[in-house]
Chains A and B, each alone.
Chain A
């Protein structure tokens, strides 16, 4: 199985992979690419397959499913991925990210550090656990998932406020 090969190659755990996928779906908003055509389950299956085929933890943040042909799931094969997905990050977006990150820091700096160590420095959950003396890798994964969710909520809140 490709995902198992990848996990061995990069020494990542199930939790790391779940964290990466969680960040992809919620943190990067890829879940919004689902347009309601066909079943959500089928779309998600195709997406996860493309994600795993293209995933490289050392390039995390640049994962793309562009060019992934998909195919066997029939009803979902017409899914259209918008081209603007790779548009250049504008200054307002960068400012917004920092604003949300400041919120995360104020809520709990440990969450902000875990977010940075996973997404900026690409540390595995074991490495983060050892670095910050967190009780377990499962706890690291849980805190990371919460940090992604927090960032997403903060983004929506600031957007509503008219950042």
Chain B
């Protein structure tokens, strides 16, 4: 895989709509220009109040990514390998696990 040399691509993921604030979260996945399989895409994860998620596990693209201080990452190659995987879950201690989806933002 290779991302465009002149564009930074940022995907935003949201928890599915819920009235329960404890279930809400948001994540941003950033691909720097010219990234290839071996490069790493950084990810930021926030709770429903916009605060960084202190710790948790993000199930994403078929990987279980450890979230610490609001940050995690995935190799660009693994992202592409998991491009058909619809399951996204954020697991946090003290919170119910919560599914998510990519959005237009």
Contacts and interface: CB of A to CB of B under 8 A. Distances in A.
A116 B84 contact: no
Contact of B101 (A105, A108, A121, A127): A105
Interface string A74-102: 00000000000000000000000110011
Contacts of A121: 7, 9
Given A105-B86, A116-B11, 6 more contacts: A108-B86, A109-B84, A109-B102, A110-B83, A121-B7, A132-B80
A101 B4 contact: no
Interface of B: 1-4, 7, 9, 11, 16, 31, 80, 83-86, 101-104
B84 A108 contact: yes
A131 to B, nearest CB: 5
Q: Is the interface of B mostly helix, strand, loop or mixed?
A: loop
Given A109-B86, A131-B4, A102 B101 contact: yes
A131 B84 CA distance: 14
A117 interface: yes
Contacts of A161: none
A101 B12 CA distance: 13
A114 to B, nearest CB: 9
Given A131-B1, A131-B3, A132-B80, A102 B16 contact: yes
A36 B86 CA distance: 42
A108 B102 CA distance: 12
Contacts of A109: 83-86, 102
Contacts of A132: 1, 80, 83
A23 to B, nearest CB: 14
A133 B31 CA distance: 15
A98 B104 contact: yes
Contacts of A113: 11, 83, 102
B32 to A, nearest CB: 13
Contacts of A112: 102
Given A113-B83, A123-B7, A131 B2 contact: yes
B84 A117 contact: no
Interface in A8-60: none
A130 interface: yes
Contacts of B31: 131
B82 to A, nearest CB: 8
Given A98-B103, A123-B7, A130 B86 contact: no
A105 B86 CA distance: 6
A93 B85 CA distance: 27
Contacts of B9: 117, 121, 131
